[in-house]
Amino acid sequence: DAKTTQPTSMDCAEGRAANLPCNHSTISGNEYVYWYRQIHSQGPQYIIHGLKNNETNEMASLIITEDRKSSTLILPHATLRDTAVYYCIVRVQAGANSKLTFGKGITLSVRP
Amino acid sequence: DAGVTQSPTHLIKTRGQQVTLRCSPKSGHDTVSWYQQALGQGPQFIFQYYEEEERQRGNFPDRFSGHQFPNYSSELNVNALLLGDSALYLCASSLWRAQAFFGQGTRLTVV
């Protein structure tokens, strides 16, 4: 079973920041938080991952709470092309349990 | 860099038949994982191959088997197809400790 809890859906206006929450209250010390997204009928796309520090790349920012029990993915300026299902996943980096366990994700709809 | 490529893109098979799906990993990647995604669901892990051996396996029956070749490419085989095997089959490649990159998938329809 997935170790994360996400809302089913959310929407935001184009050009505004989209803040996608994720709860992972049972996360272990060696598990990372990963975010992937899946645009309709395509394969999942890697966005970002982190262990305990906040991370930023060209796509998004990842904010992880100090107790690591929740995180937020931030798309700073959402566009219509960001409409997708976003998956929050906790995972060890390597070894016997390094598979990705997907839940149902959160459907983000960006409106014009 | 071609990324992860899967073939074929679409496939229709009859119940009881066997199917083979193929995956070429991203250049430099040595690990291949396979996922099944039913309509409206998130991808479900089938198994992972590294150094030509199955390293991890999800909760799938023995009808699902795989292989990894010396060039790191991989095949997923499904025997005795059931209607419930209809799904999008995704291949992901990675280096052992790094993030996985997915292909566009093979849409399998069993009739």
- Rounded to whole angstroms, how far apart are CA atoms A87 and A22? 9
Mean pLDDT for chain B? 94
pLDDT at A37: 97
Closest CA to B105 of B48, B21, B30: B21
CB contact under 8 A, A2 and B100: no
- Rounded to whole angstroms, how far apart are CA atoms B65 and B72? 16
Say if A46 is an interface residue toward chain B (CB within 8 Å): yes
CA dihedral (A90, A94, A96, A97) in degrees, to 10, reads 0
pLDDT at A92: 79
- Rounded to whole angstroms, how far apart are CA atoms B25 and B50? 12
- Rounded to whole angstroms, how far apart are CA atoms B95 and A94? 10
Residue A27, CB-side half-sphere exposure with 13 Å CA sphere: 28
Of the two residues B97 and A111, the one the predictor is more confident about is A111
pLDDT at B2: 72
Is residue B95 very low, low, confident or very high in pLDDT (cuts 50, 70, 90)? confident
Residue B106, CB-side half-sphere exposure with 13 Å CA sphere: 26
Å from A35 to nearest chain B CA?
A: 10
Is residue A96 very low, low, confident or very high in pLDDT (cuts 50, 70, 90)? low
Is residue B63 very low, low, confident or very high in pLDDT (cuts 50, 70, 90)? very high
pLDDT at A30: 87
- Rounded to whole angstroms, how far apart are CA atoms A73 and A5? 13
- Alpha-carbon distances of A3 from A25, A28, A101, B58, B110, rounded to whole Å: 8, 10, 8, 16, 31
Quick: pLDDT tens for B14-43: 999 999 999 999 998 999 999 999 998 999
Quick: pLDDT tens for A18-63: 999 999 999 988 889 999 999 987 999 999 999 998 999 999 999 9
Quick: pLDDT tens for B64-83: 999 999 999 999 999 999 99
CB contact under 8 A, A102 and B4: no
Is residue A97 very low, low, confident or very high in pLDDT (cuts 50, 70, 90)? low
Å from B105 to nearest chain A CA?
A: 6
